[in-house]
Each structure stands twice: as C-alpha cells, then as structure tokens.
Structure 1
Amino acid sequence: MTNGPVGVALVGAGVISGQYLRNLTAFPDVRVLAVADLDTDRAAAVAREHGVPVSGDLGTALAVPEVEIVVNLTVPAAHAAVALESLRAGKHVYGEKPFAMDVDEAAKVMAEAADRGLRLGGAPDTFLGAGLQSALRALRSGLVGAPVAVTAATQSLGPESWHPNPEFFYQPGGGPLFDLGPYYLTALVALLGPVARVAAGTRRARDQRVVGSGPKAGTLFPVAVPTHVNALLDFPGTATAAATFSFDSAVNRRMIEIIGTEGALSLPDPNTFEGPLLARGLRDADWRELPVPGTTAGRGIGVLDMARSIRAGTPHRASGELAYHVLDLMSAIAESGERAEFRPIASTTPVPEPLPEDWDPYAATA
C-alpha cells in the first residue's frame, strides 16, 4: 500500500477554488500538485497564489503521475464529463455539487468508477463539520428518543440582489432545490438514512428577475426553474420530513429541527461547519446549547477524509453513493412537483460512520 500524502489536482479555478485550496494546501495528508481550468491564465494565477507547482488544462493535470484524486470544481454542466475523463485517466474523483446534471449522467459516472475500481466522492462535506457530527452523535445516543418528524427550510429572496451574474441560479441545475438542497438533503440522509419516496409542490413566482448589483445591474433575465419547492420525504422505519426550498421568501430562514419521542434537536445551518446545536426535552421550557466538538476546518475535509481512507483502505464518508442518492432525491422532487404524485426512490446509500470527536485535519496520519 502506498504511504505518504495523497496527490491532488484541482480542476476549475473559479471563486470556490480559493476556499478549497486554502484548506487542502494546509492539510499534511494531501499534496496539491496541479490546478487546471479552461482559462489556463486563470489556472496559472491561482496556482501561483497557493504555491501549486503545475497549472494548465485538464489534460495537463491528469498527466501528473502523482495525482491520485481530481477535485472537480467545474460548472455543473461539466461535472460528469470531467469526472469521466479523470476516471479514464486512472484518478479517483471528488466533485462539487450537484454530482451531475441528471441521474442518467450520474449513473454513467458511477458505472465507470466501479468498472475501474476507483473512488467517487461528492460535496457537500458540511455534514462532516463539528455541528452536524455532534447532531449525529446526539441522535445516536438517544438524547431525544426515536426521530418522528423533521422540519427543514432554506428561504430567502434569492441571490440576484448581491450576485453580479445570477442567471445560472435560475437555469436547469439551479434554483433553490439544486443550489441549496444538497446541504439539507445530505445532512438529513447522513442523520436518518436513505429516503424511500418523495412528494412535492413547486411554484415559480416570476418569469423574469433583475440583476441587482455589478455592471449588469438592472438587467432582466429569464427564470426557467421553480423558485419555491415544498417537499415531503419518507425515511422508512423512522421520521418523515417536510422541507422548503425558496428564493421567493421575504422571511430569511435556514433551519433543521428534528422532533423525537423524548425531545427535539435544532441543528445549525447545514451550509456551515459549526454550531450552534440546541436540544430540549419534552418538559423543558426552552432550548439548551450542546457542545459541538469536531473540526470546523471548512470545505475540503471531504477530500481529506477520502485521501485518508484511500491510504487506510476504509470507506470514505462523502461518497459517490451519497451524492448520487441526493441527486436522485432532488430529481424526484422536481418530477413530483411537475406530476403531482409521490415518486419512489430507487437508489440507496450506506449511512456514513461518524467522524471521531478528535479527528484532526492538521495532524498527519499517512
């Protein structure tokens, strides 16, 4: 078995790459060897900023023999194509959300990886942060009894007020369901297991929206996806969940609450790695805050867990099966909204094991 740090190439040098690179270059168990982008000048600038030795296009990154994992941060429409090319070059792949544009694309990626004996991983990895891991441990300890019901919501007026190029948020592969849904659905599956069936109602408040900032401020652009989604999720043998994903809400809300037979948990925003985590018993007058031990290092800890698991020969937690199941859920929710019927979920996923409380991204293990 190979020892030492796992070589990583990052593909897609956009804004999110900075968060990944700040973390990945600080983790001793990974070594970032290349940055790739269609804009090779941008790739070179990002590589220089973070001390990465190689930059260029995807082929350049894949040609680095020490690269074992490709971190795919390209636009959603390119996720499957970049993953397939990387797998065919013999690399494991960890991709940003969504896993692919649709389940058919995703199935091809899953099959390619299985045929080649390679690993797939997928964002979000926020469920590995201290807040949600502490929630997982609290649930497993029986703190609030058996889960009965879940309420989850992410509501806002959408990103166009602050984002200078918000159009892609309102095209296929976007909207509140596909943009923010992965954080909430991944957290719920990690906490409660895979979903058996879903139902949904969807609405689109406006056919056009207005860019609110930057050089295109005041420009109208079309809306092609639902902007308000109410979904019901059935977790067999445990809770049911009601989830709202909205870009049409004057009320800003980011929450998950789990009701159990002996109390309730209020979870932190699943798009973060920290707390607070709150609990209350059946007769408690108010919430009490629970400790949240664990890592708050941020984006990239899923890649690190994958790298450590490669060296140890153990399953990694932010797996391709989990990312595929979440994509399957989102696609079924969208279909249910169109057809006004329950949709069964064919896929499943192993429930990730909790991280040890003392899991330290900055302590070398390889």
Structure 2
Amino acid sequence: MGGRSVTGVVSIIGCGFVADLYMRSLQAMDGLTVAGVYDRDPARLKKFCDHWSLTAVGSLEELLDQHPRNGVVLNLTNPSAHFEINSACLAAGCHTYSEKPLAMTVDEAKQLHRQAEKAGLMLASAPCSVLGEAAQTLGHALRNGIAGPARAIYAELDDGFVPQAAYKKWISESGAPWPYEDEFRVGCTLEHAGYYLGWLISWFGSVRTVVAASAETIPDKEGTGPFAPDLSVATLFFENGPMTRLTCSIVAPHDHQIRIIGDDGVLSCKAAWDNSAKVTFAKRMTIRRRLMESPFPKTVKLSQPTHPKVKRWGAAAMNFMLGPEEMLDAINAGRPSRLSNDFALHMTEVTLAMQNAGETTGAQAMTTRCNPMEPMPWAM
C-alpha cells in the first residue's frame, strides 16, 4: 500500500489514553473517516470528540447499528471489556479490530475466533507494527538471506522501572490519563509481547511450544490489585523458525532491541515502537584470531516508499492505523487480510502462555496455528 491511499470508514469504541494515538495516526492517512464514537463515560466521550471534531454516539447499540458493514470497528476499551465488546461487534455483523489483548483467556479468544469465522467476518488484534517499515525491512532481510540462515533470535521489551516513573503526568492529547491501575493489573506481557510476537509469527508462522516463566517482582504497586506479573521470559520454539528468547518487563532498564543471529552475522533493530527504526546488519569476521561482528554495521533499506509515518509522541513513533487500513484495503479488494483471524488468536494464545507461566508451568504446547504473513507489496 506504499504510495497510495485506502478509502474506508471506522467507528471507535473507547476514548481512553490509546484512542488519541489512533486519531493522530488517522490524521496522517488519506481517505479514512470516522463514522461515530462511543464511550461509556459521557464526559470523556464529549472531551475526546470535541478535541478531534468527531461525532459522538449515545450508545453502543446505536454505534453498531449505524456502522457501515464495509467498515471496521475499533475496540479501544479497557482489556477487561475486550471479550464482551468484540463479541457484540461480531454479533452485529461488523469487522472488528481490537486493542490488545483480543481477550483475557484463551477460551474467550477461541470463542471470538469461532464467532468471526461462522459470520465470515474479520477479527484482528493490535499491535499492527508488524505492518510497519522496521518489521517489514527485517522480514525482507530474512527472506533474502542477508545474514544467512537464522539460528537464534534474542528480543527484549523492557520498559524501565515503571512503578517509579511519573506516570500520573502521562496525559493524552485530549486529556485522558495513562490508566496505570489497569496497566498493572493486565500486565506488561499482555500489553507489550505482541510488538515482537507479531513480527516473529509473521515471519515464521506458528509457535509450537512455549517454555516460559513469569513473576511479579515489584510488590505494592499503586492501585487496587491483584496485579499481573511484571517480568516474563519465554523461549519460543517455532514449527518453521529459529529458537527465540523474548523478555517483557517493567523492571529492567529500557531495551527494545531484537537481534537475529545468522550464519553470516547479526541483523538488529533497537526500537520496536518506531516504524522508522534503523535495521542493520553486522557481518561476522575473524581479525587476528578474534571472532567478532563488524563494529560498523550496514543499514538495510527498502527500495520503495513504505507507509505514512507519525511523529514521536511519548514513547512511540508508530502509525496505529496501519492495521485498520490493512483490513479496509482487504475488504475493498475482496482479499484475505494479512491480520487474519488465525493470526489474532495464535498471538493471543502465545502471549497468555508467557503471562500465565509462573514458576512451574514448564513447556506449553500451543493449540492454535497460523501461517506466515504475506509481506507488504513495498517489502517484497
């Protein structure tokens, strides 16, 4: 979709902190419009719609009733409401894009998948950075063997010691506070693992086995618990990919690096939340009996224009509308979406396996499957 616009309509449910990031992204796109917006909090709904000049709708039923069936509903509510809202959207005959996670349990996620499949509807889950330039550039490098066959992958999604951060000062553009209690209850793994899981599953397809551990390492967080694990470490065994280690935490110093170790060197990207993050290749060499990767890595670039970019706001420089745009383009073209129903379900199952691993779970066999994702046309 590089260099061209997609025409389509979305409706928005939920006007919290993340909704402003979607609106900033939508303003960078051509041809996308918002049919209506609903939030259960009338004051928050008015403030959000006034800020972005959008049309407020008085009830969920009214929003779903007026939503065009060739459009996409964005479920941007709190995670505890995702299953209920996603199910209502599908029951109303609406293609649905859900903020992560798709649901809070694997059983609920499977119910949603069955519901969508039976109705012939698209059901996608954030994050959509898998469609962004950085992820697609790494995928291009893998397919073209720039580093040789991939033997192992190390990926980090550590966000610093967040409970000591000034998170009460984190306010969205339209005035929504960062929902710290909800974030601590849901957990950093459910919130963030998908940023690299999405990339990995898009390249290699299904994860066969997850061997993980998770724990709450920082007690007494602010707010009402119980709180989810704030650190998880997972080893992923793909059906057709290299052994991968993925770490998520709000404990360790900020580190969003992914390294793909190949026979000929290392592919790297240091910013999962930046669509324009540099992708590099460090060739392996021997100098005076010392084995090392080149200290002067080469930048890997795509030869074509990619997608509209969004300037950095807070911790991220991501276009949150790449996913809904992909779905709308698929609807218009009459083709399957890259963000398939199987992709959303499988990513949810793997994420929940990481989050819920605890100390003694051991190896977990995944019960869902999905195929690798077709690259974007500009990343072939």
Q: Please, what TM-score do these two structures have when normalized by structure 1?
A: 0.87
Pairwise CA distance, 1:230? 1.4
Contact 2:11 2:63 in 1 (8 A): yes
> 2: distance between equivalents of 1:125 and 1:148?
26
- Alignment match, 1:88: 91
Which segment is superposed worse, 263-272 or 93-102? 263-272
Q: Flag the 1:345–1:290 CA change in 2: closer, same or farther, 3 A.
A: same
Contact 2:212 2:232 in 1 (8 A): yes
Q: Flag the 1:356–1:54 CA change in 2: closer, same or farther, 3 A.
A: same
- Alignment match, 1:152: 155
> 2: distance between equivalents of 1:153 and 1:305?
27
Candidates 337, 351, 371, aligned match of 1:330: 351
Q: Flag the 1:25–1:35 CA change in 2: closer, same or farther, 3 A.
A: farther
Q: Flag the 1:202–1:19 CA change in 2: closer, same or farther, 3 A.
A: closer
Identity %: 27
Pairwise CA distance, 1:352? 1.5
Pairwise CA distance, 1:96? 0.6
Secondary structure at 1:208 match in 2: coil
What are the superposed Cα offsets for residues 234-292 of structure 1, whole Å, 9 maximum, x if unpaired?
0123300112112222x321111001122210024222211111111222522222225
Contact 2:215 2:359 in 1 (8 A): no
Candidates 117, 121, 124, aligned match of 2:124: 121
Where in structure 2 are there 5+ consecutive unaligned residues?
1-5, 169-178, 286-292, 311-318
What are the superposed Cα offsets for residues 42-91 of structure 1, whole Å, 9 maximum, x if unpaired?
22332333333343321221121535311100000111111111111111
- Alignment match, 2:106: 103
Secondary structure at 2:35 match in 1: strand
Alignment of 1:1-366 (within 5 A): 5-66=7-68, 68-155=71-158, 156-164=160-168, 165-171=179-185, 174-209=186-221, 211=222, 222=225, 224-249=227-252, 251-283=253-285, 285-286=294-295, 287-291=297-301, 294-295=306-307, 296-297=309-310, 298-357=319-378
> 2: distance between equivalents of 1:159 and 1:302?
30
> 2: distance between equivalents of 1:268 and 1:314?
33
Q: Flag the 1:340–1:5 CA change in 2: closer, same or farther, 3 A.
A: closer
Number of aligned positions between the proteins: 344
Secondary structure at 1:46 match in 2: helix
- Alignment match, 2:175: none
Secondary structure at 1:357 match in 2: helix
Pairwise CA distance, 1:221? 5.5
Q: Please, what TM-score do these two structures have when normalized by structure 2?
A: 0.84
What are the superposed Cα offsets for residues 286-332 of structure 1, whole Å, 9 maximum, x if unpaired?
22222255223411111011001001011212233222111101222
Which segment is superposed worse, 277-286 or 74-83? 277-286
Pairwise CA distance, 1:18? 1.5
Where in structure 1 are there 5+ consecutive unaligned residues?
212-219, 360-366
What are the superposed Cα offsets for residues 221-241 of structure 1, whole Å, 9 maximum, x if unpaired?
656322221111001233001
Contact 1:96 1:122 in 2 (8 A): yes
RMSD: 2.2
> 1: distance between equivalents of 2:26 and 2:216?
39
> 2: distance between equivalents of 1:65 and 1:184?
32
Pairwise CA distance, 1:202? 2.3
